[in-house]
């Protein structure tokens, strides 16, 4: 466990944030990807989670297991929802071989295990895909991490529910459309610290509007070094990328 999340968010300079771990060099949302992100000295490491059938937060991006596990080969069918399986069943799956044979045997981590790895050298940016606020806040409380992680979601009602339960939790509101004043007003009203937006909708006016409200602007998902430099020149505060090492190098050269 390193610096408090609020301190990390407020750091000088541009934050480099590993998207689903260092997901260009290891299977996304696995401990391999998180360890590589730590090696790349990512300022934060992003992950996604859903709840299993028995209510355990499991680190995974898609609603269905098909793309990044061997669930279809193992169980048959298609479009197999993660939420229909118990944690025990999910542990049987291979979440690494789809990416490269050398990662065969990688498992879907539970959120607690992922936090243990990431918090050892960085700060976790937890993206909630599905699951209630109470379960997440209780887990963070148990692990004494309430002030050491950032929680983000596209679902702003979820963020408001987190805020009601945990006044000091650092929150980020995600969006993928125009960054309008009305949306910013809503986000601001929830009490988030960060706006995490699709980089395609970010321009100088958007950066100014976010900063005028005292918020930070992080952009996703930026894997191209030229685009990262462009966004930094506009004034963004964080770059969420599958390639944290390469993007950090590109931005350092810039300075």
Positions in the binding site for Ca ion (CB under 5 A): 48, 127
* Per-residue binding letters, 15-34, with ligand G3P (x by CB under 6 A): ----x---------------
Nearest alpha-carbon partner for 60 in 100, 23, 35 = 23
Q: What are phi and psi of 117, to 5 degrees?
A: -70, -50
DSSP string, 60-79: -SSSBSTTTSSHHHHH-SSS
110 contributes a contact to ligand G3P by CB under 6 A: no
Minimum distance, C-beta of residue 125 to ligand G3P, in the bound complex (Å):
7
**Rounded Cα distance, 255 and 251, in Å:** 7
Residues in the chain: 255
Q: Which does 50 bind (CB under 5 to 8 A by kind): ligand G3P, Ca ion, none?
A: none
Whole-number Å distance between alpha carbons of 175 and 156: 10
Closest separation between CB of residue 220 and ligand G3P, Å? 4
Q: How far is the CB of 48 from ligand G3P (least distance, A)?
A: 5
Indicate whether 107 belongs to the interface with ligand G3P (CB under 6 A).
no
CB 28 to ligand G3P: min, Å = 9
- In the bound state with Ca ion, the residue whose beta carbon lies nearer, of 127 and 242, is 127
Q: Which residues contact 69 (CB under 8 A, 6 or more apart)?
A: 93, 94, 95, 98, 108
Q: By CB under 6 A, name the binding residues for ligand G3P.
A: 19, 46, 48, 61, 127, 174, 196, 220-221, 240
């Amino acid at each position: 466990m390193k610096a408090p999340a609020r301190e990390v968010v407020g750091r000088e300079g541009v934050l480099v944030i590993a998207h689903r771990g260092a997901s260009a060099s290891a299977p996304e949302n696995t401990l391999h990807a998180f360890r590589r992100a730590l090696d790349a000295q990512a300022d934060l490491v992003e992950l996604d989670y859903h709840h299993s059938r028995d209510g355990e937060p499991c680190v995974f991006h898609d609603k269905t297991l098909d793309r990044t596990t061997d669930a279809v080969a193992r169980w048959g069918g298609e479009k197999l929802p993660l939420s229909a399986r118990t944690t025990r069943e999910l542990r049987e799956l291979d979440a690494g071989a789809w990416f490269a044979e050398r990662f065969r045997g990688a498992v879907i981590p539970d959120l607690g295990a992922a936090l243990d790895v990431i918090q050892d050298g960085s700060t976790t940016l937890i993206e909630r895909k599905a699951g209630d606020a109470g379960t997440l806040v209780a887990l963070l409380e148990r692990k004494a991490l309430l002030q050491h992680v950032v929680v983000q979601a596209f679902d702003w009602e979820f963020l408001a529910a987190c805020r009601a339960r945990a006044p000091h939790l650092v929150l980020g509101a995600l969006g993928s459309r125009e960054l309008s004043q009305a949306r910013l007003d809503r986000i601001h009203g929830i009490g988030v610290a960060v706006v995490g937006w699709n980089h395609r909708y970010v321009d100088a006016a958007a950066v100014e509007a976010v900063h005028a409200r005292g918020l930070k602007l992080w952009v996703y998902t930026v894997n191209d070094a030229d685009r990262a430099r462009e966004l930094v020149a506009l004034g963004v505060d964080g770059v969420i990328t599958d390639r944290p090492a390469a993007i950090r190098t590109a931005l350092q050269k810039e300075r």
